[in-house]
Amino acid sequence: MLLSLFSSSVTNCALISSLLLTPRRTSPASPFFLRKVITRAISFCITTSTMSVNLQAHAFAGNPLRSTIPKPGDPFSPSSALETLRSRLMESTSSNQLISPSFQVLPFRKGRPLASSVDGDGGDASEPNWHLGWIGLADCRGYLAKSGVELTAESLVFLGFMPDEDVVYWAIDVSSENSLVPELGGKRLCFVELRTLMVAADWTDDRAMADLAIAGHARALLEWHKLSRFCGSCGANTVPAEAGRRKQCSNETCKARVYPRIDPPGESLEEAVRRETFEEAGIEVGEVVYHSSQPWPVGPNSMPCQLMVGFFAYAKTLEINVDKTELEDAEWHSREEVQKALSLAEYKKAHTTAAAKVEQMCKGVEKGQSLSADFNVESGELAPMFFPGPFAIAHHLISSWVNGKSTIGVGGRQPSTSLSNL
């Protein structure tokens, strides 16, 4: 069966991904396809080293705060949490830590997260363990007040929340407050280099690795905020938006949106595939298999240069629950239906139209017309099921699945033996 997702716009996308989903539990005769759009930036690293530890994820991946980003309206969503944060900061009492949800803040100084260290459990082989130095909102405000600085909602960056906890987590850059003394109730706290924490982390300790991922994401996000203070389009100041998840140009005639691109880690590509697929299509995804990537310098004006990354993925559930703010629709289709749709080759018509348009423009027949605005090669108006042409990675994902082999790839290699099982 084929699942097609229709997205009306890819605006705001820092990275676009196409997926092929196949239910693991069904026969090879009934795989299905999903094309979707990932709406946030992702970074990843490749390692060729071998490890004796059976890790669940790479260092800095597996951030539990990012496993789910709640929808607007949810008290744990960035927008709702920001509104609550603003109201809390307007209150004069320091007892608001008892109010649901509670807020925890991780301060950073010059890229170093606040951390604490506790002794091991006493055994000869025990080692001290470090933990992130989370502080409550009232304490954070108190620290800054000692330096004569008022804590504002705009100075805090949303990190996420922990499932099953009533806590929203934030980060703040206090690099400019050199007089801050990070002491809290006798607890020894200090700002520690992230690389030091990385080496000091017990790779077999899930909590330590989770803390490392959280700190890595927070640091990258704060660094990005520091380096994106001005609009690259008009030069005006940028201001935080969506609880610090993006920035926006303060120039009313510009209003350019600025998103983190490759910088913020915090989840792997595979994690992003699973999270976004569930958030926008309601489908749980298990195994994720990389197919290929494609530079995409023809995105919308707000984000013209993107990286398309294509995956095959095995669905664990079949029920579709479409997020209508992200996608227009989603449907399942059989392989035969997909083959038929591909044979219609409507994109060939678009190609012919575009070629003729270019020729006319070159001859001066249609001066001043915008080529990109003249036709929409992804409109799908002429076909019951429409796929982008060979210019798009989605086309190759679909073709790969229909034909049972890759239609593109580095050096002509098959992307994965798993492909034959789809």
Report helix, strand or coil for 43.
coil
Query: With binding defined as CB under 5 A, does residue 251 bind Zn ion?
Result: yes
What would the DSSP string read from start to end of 44-56? --------SS--S
- Smallest gap from Cβ 261 to Zn ion, in A, equals 17
**Tokens encoding 364:** 């001066």
Where on the phi/psi map is residue 116: left (φ > 0), alpha (ψ -120 to 50), or beta?
A: beta
Under the criterion CB under 5 A, does residue 99 sit at the interface with Zn ion? no
Query: Tokens in use for 291?
Result: 């197919």
CB of 331 vs Zn ion, minimal distance in Å: 39
CA 59 – CA 15 distance, rounded (Å) = 22
For the bound state, the minimum distance from the C-beta of residue 253 to Zn ion, rounded and expressed in Å, comes to 8
State which residue, 184 or 236, has the beta carbon closest to Zn ion.
236
Closer residue to Zn ion (CB): 249 or 397: 249
Please report how close the Cβ of residue 236 comes to Zn ion at its closest, in angstroms.
5
Nearer residue to Zn ion within complex by CB, 251 or 339 = 251
CB of 231 to Zn ion, least distance (A): 3
Residues with Cβ within 8 Å of residue 212, at least 6 apart in sequence: 59, 60, 197, 198, 201
Q: How far is the CB of 224 from Zn ion (least distance, A)?
A: 17
# of chain residues touching Zn ion (CB under 5 A) = 8
What does the alpha-carbon distance between residue 36 and residue 400 come to, in Å, rounded to a whole number? 16
Contacts with Zn ion in 297-326 (CB under 5 A)? none
Contacts of 369 (CB under 8 A, 6+ apart): 361
Select the span of 7-15, 157-165, 224-232, 302-310 touching Zn ion (CB under 5 A): 224-232
Closest CB to Zn ion among residues 234, 298: 234
Q: Is 256 in the site for Zn ion (CB under 5 A)?
A: yes
By rule CB under 5 A, what string of x and - marks binding of each residue 172-211 to Zn ion? ----------------------------------------
- Taking the complex as a whole, how short is the minimal distance between the CB of residue 306 and Zn ion, in angstroms? 20
159, 192, 213, 231: which one binds Zn ion (CB under 5 A)? 231
Q: How far is the CA of 93 from the CAs of 109, 141, 142, in angstroms?
A: 27, 11, 12
**CA dist 337 → 22, 121, 341, 343 (Å):** 16, 62, 6, 10
Q: Are 267 and 62 in contact (CB under 8 A)?
A: yes
DSSP H/E element including 197? helix 194-200
- CA 388 from centre of chain: 24
Q: Interacting stretch for Zn ion, rule CB under 5 A, among 217-225, 252-260, 290-298, 304-312?
A: 252-260
Smallest CA-to-CA distance from 422 within 311, 323, 304 is with: 311
Kindly tell me which residue out of 12, 102, 117, 233 binds Zn ion, with binding defined by CB under 5 A. Answer: 233
Cβ proximity to Zn ion, 189 vs 258, nearer residue:
258
The residue among 257 and 357 lying less far from Zn ion, judged by its C-beta, is 257
Select 97 or 251, whichever has its Cβ closest to Zn ion: 251
> Which residues lie near Zn ion (CB under 5 A)?
231, 233-234, 236, 249, 251, 254, 256
